[in-house]
Chain A
Amino acid sequence: GAVVSQHPSWVICKSGTSVKIECRSLDFQATTMFWYRQFPKQSLMLMATSNEGSKATYEQGVEKDKFLINHASLTLSTLTVTSAHPEDSSFYICSARDTGGDKAFFGQGTRLTVV
């Protein structure tokens, strides 16, 4: 089956620094990828839609200048959390829509802890 790989799987960073998370579709092309955030004991909330070759679209309440998204190729989207603060600590999951199919596949997630 289709595989979406996220890297890193976990990261600890100091408050004020920036962290980049990668989302790769390993065996299919994805013109569209999605980034979700999951706080402890809560469900996933969509943050933004990443479009290859164009700007990402953000959900209401998500700061685009804080969560920078780049989708430079058909297999890679990156989410950069800029000037991270402890309240940004969360589980970030991406999904990628198989351009040639009718499903979206999810990555294994990245646990971000800001100290």
Chain B
Amino acid sequence: KQEVTQIPAALSVPEGENLVLNCSFTDSAIYNLQWFRQDPGKGLTSLLLIQSSQREQTSGRLNASLDKSSGRSTLYIAASQPGDSATYLCAVPTGVGTYKYIFGTGTRLKVLA
């Protein structure tokens, strides 16, 4: 059974720092991995989607990498800003061709001004 874990559970950093969020999954037979942002009491915003054939995706200050063989993905946030404060979730589909997701435990990020 697929399990998704995120480390650290919480992170507090001063503004301007570069930071890395980690996501681990137990079953490497995934066909994509997605990173989401969730603001308190709100729904999800998709940040980056990496297909299994890709090693990384970039969007602005965000870069996500995927290493299927080791069951890991990282989300790199460059030059963090207070507006980046949120919970970051990674998720993998439950199977091939499905849009049902198993979510990680999340990392609560706080960027201090």
Interface residues of A (CB under 8 A from B): 6, 32, 34, 36, 42-46, 49, 91, 93, 95, 97, 103-109, 111
B91's closest neighbor in chain A, by CB? Answer: A44
Q: Check A43 against B43 for contact (C-beta < 8 Å).
A: no
Q: Per a CB cutoff under 8 Å, which of B43, B100, B102 touches A106? A: B43
Report A-chain residues with C-beta under 8 Å of the C-beta of B102: 46
Inter-chain contacts of A32 with B (CB < 8 A): 99
B41 touches A109 (CB 8 A): yes
- Interface SS of chain A: strand
| Range of interface residues on B (Cβ < 8 Å) | 10 to 19
Nearest opposing residue in chain B for A94, CB measure? B43
Q: Nearest Cβ distance between residue B11 and chain A, in whole angstroms?
A: 15
Residue of A nearest to B6 (CB): A43
12 contacts between A and B (CB under 8 A): A32-B99, A43-B105, A44-B101, A46-B100, A46-B102, A93-B43, A95-B101, A97-B99, A104-B101, A106-B44, A106-B45, A109-B43
> Cβ of A106: which chain B residues have Cβ within 8 Å of it?
36, 43-46
Cβ-neighbour of B46 out of A91, A93, A103, A107 (below 8 A) = A103
Identify the interface centre among B42, B99, B104: most chain A CB within 10 Å of its CB. Answer: B99
